[in-house]
Structure 1
Amino acid sequence: AASPDLLGSMVKTFAEALMGAEVDGVCNAEYGEISPERVNRRNGYRAREWDTRTGTTELAVPKLRQGSYFPEWLLTRRRRAEQALISVVATSYLLGVSTRRVDKLVEQLGVANISKSQVSVLAKQLDAQVEAFRSRPLDAGPYRFVQADALTMKVREDGRVINVHCLLAVGVNGDGHREILGLDVVSSEDGAGWLAFFRGLVARGLSGVRLVTSDAHRGLVNAIGSTLPGASWQRCRTHYLRDLSNVAPKSSQPWVATLVRTIFEQADATAVTVQFDRVVEALTEKLPKAADHLSHAKADLLAFTAYPRQIWKQI
């Protein structure tokens, strides 16, 4: 839903590469290859519209000099084939486009006998499109509001399973829609990684940022200040509630969380500030450590009040 054009392009590329692989099998030789085992040759393309949930895609179906070729999965099982292709693209992206996994997923289309080298070609074409998306110019700005976070994931590297950190940034573009700005994978979530990540975003065109929301990771906050001068910082309230729970007894955590949430449900900036002070006062008597923790985070948690009430829920 966030990037329908990207997904449609991926589906088109993958479907056409898949047809090319099938035709290579029919010809018993790859396109342009000189081989004594060749039994047929290509003879141009025919256009065929394919209706999918990503929109109508025009596919170039290969033609043969002798006989005819038309993929059965496109002709007789269009709905199932489309769902399988979406699955292939999405799963390949998430799983790192493993040749073996792609081969198994392609079998959902009823296509068999595709060699490892052909599957590798499909994977490389998809990799190229993913990389093009990750390095594309950020020209839909200004991006007034940005959110940044890191996800820890397990990956296989040199035969071992290790943890890596996926640095992710999402922004609101000039049309008011959320857009994935960047995704980098690093070995550790430190200041150097975040600094390089944001420098890359700025180099690609990130501009006009007014407010960045994130957790209080020191390296992340410093990177924001170094690369986005003039942008204010909003501490993510979800992350903060987890931090606050560490200084409150387990039995009191639900009450503390409910109390703090009332701060963000007020009608205007003045009411938010008043309610914040009330919550601190309520915590002071029973949980002084939690009250002190919350009091020190006031400026970071209430940065959103500088913006119109109508967009508080979104930022």
Structure 2
Amino acid sequence: MTTHKSLPTDLIDSLLADYKKPEDLIGENGLLKQLTKALVERALQAEITEHLGHDKHETVTNPTGNARNGKSHKTLKGEFGELPIEIPRDREGSFEPRMISKHQTCWAGFDDKILSLYARGMTVREIQQHLTEMYGAEVSPTLISTVTDGVMDEVKQWQSRPLDSVYPVIYLDCIHAKVRDAGSVRAKAIYLAISINMEGHKEILGLWIAQTEGAKFWLSVVTELKNRGVQDILYRLH
């Protein structure tokens, strides 16, 4: 993977105009929106699967013949600004979303958990613990298991998706988030690879979780980006 550092200073300044620390790229109007939307909508799809007793393309097995019936739309407000999401519906109108209730409009306090869920290195048990905390105590183990399966599918697809061969700019940075580990909450390092692609849009290429920040781990991050298709970087910020 080749890295060039010959971009004009004024172009770099323009690209980094809103960037002072990693949180600026994932906070209000930042990239956290992408992850939150995908994870919440995947969790809601898992919820309606658990409610109906069958997946989207499976045979209807519940006694009343209830099935999916399109989607409704809602806008959530959080630290990232406003986020439009799609909520699945059923024919009988009996589905009650749990992660996002029908009249809920605010979403706050889950930024660390969203980032952690997408970070490579989380165990199934850690994912289940995160989801349990997000849902609260009043949900069944069956629901948590179903949502975990759905979320893991979403996360694995996102983690392993092919990347572009060329990126004008890639940021390599690290933040620290609180993660429940072995029954206690610990601060862990979340490695970020964030890019500006050829269309000028910011994109999270990957997230990785580790106990601490270190040079050896950064080498493994760069190696994975190369294995997923990145061949050339015009400017790398670390």
TM-score exceeds 0.5: yes
Partner of 1:93: 114
Contact 2:194–2:203 (CA<8 Å) still a contact in 1?
yes
Match of 1:225 in 2: none
Contact 1:170 1:179 in 2 (8 A): yes
Partner SS, residue 206 of structure 2: strand
**Structure whose CA Rg is larger:** 1
Q: Which runs of 5+ in 1 are unaligned?
A: 24-29, 33-37, 215-315
Relative to 1, partners in 2 of residues 1:138 and 1:160: Cα closer, same or farther, differing over 3 Å? same
1:1-315 equivalences under 5 Å are: 1-2=30-31, 6-23=35-52, 30-31=53-54, 40-52=63-75, 53-55=82-84, 57=86, 59=88, 61-63=89-91, 68-71=92-95, 78=102, 80-83=103-106, 86-87=107-108, 90=111, 92-94=113-115, 96=117, 99=128, 102-103=131-132, 105-106=134-135, 114-139=139-164, 142-159=166-183, 164-214=188-238
Q: Counterpart of 2:200 in 1: which secondary structure?
A: coil
Q: Cα 1:72–1:196, aligned 2, differ >3 Å: closer, same or farther?
A: closer
Structure-2 change in CA distance of 1:137 and 1:57 (3 Å)? same
What is the count of residue pairs matched by the alignment?
188
Q: Tell me: CA distance 1:203–1:192, structure 2 relative to 1, closer, same or farther (3 Å).
A: same
Contact 1:22 1:114 in 2 (8 A): no
Equivalent residues of 1:20, 1:62 under 8 A apart: no
Superposition TM-score, scaled by structure 2 size: 0.60
When the two structures are superposed, what TM-score results if normalisation uses the length of structure 1? 0.48
Q: Is the 8 A contact 2:166 2:232 kept in 1?
A: yes
Q: CA deviation at 1:73?
A: 6.1
For 2:109 and 2:146, the matched residues in 1 are separated by 14
Tell me how far apart the structure 1 counterparts of residues 196 and 224 of structure 2 sit (CA, whole Å).
18
Q: Which amino acid aligns with 2:86?
A: T
1:82 CA displacement: 4.9
Q: 1:14 corresponds to which letter in structure 2?
A: A
- Highest RCO, 1 vs 2 (Cα 8 Å, sep ≥ 6): 2
Q: Which amino acid aligns with 1:40?
A: P
Counterpart-to-counterpart distance in 2, 1:170 and 1:70: 41
1:145–1:198 Cα change, 3 Å: same
Task: Give the distance between the partners of 1:118 and 1:17, measured in 2 at CA.
Answer: 8
> Structure 1 residues 136, 116: CA separation in 2 closer, same or farther (over 3 Å shift)?
same
Change (3 A) 1:115 1:159: closer
Identify the structure with the greater helix proportion. 1
Q: Name the CA distance, whole Å, in 2 between partners of 1:179 and 1:147.
A: 10
Identity %: 21
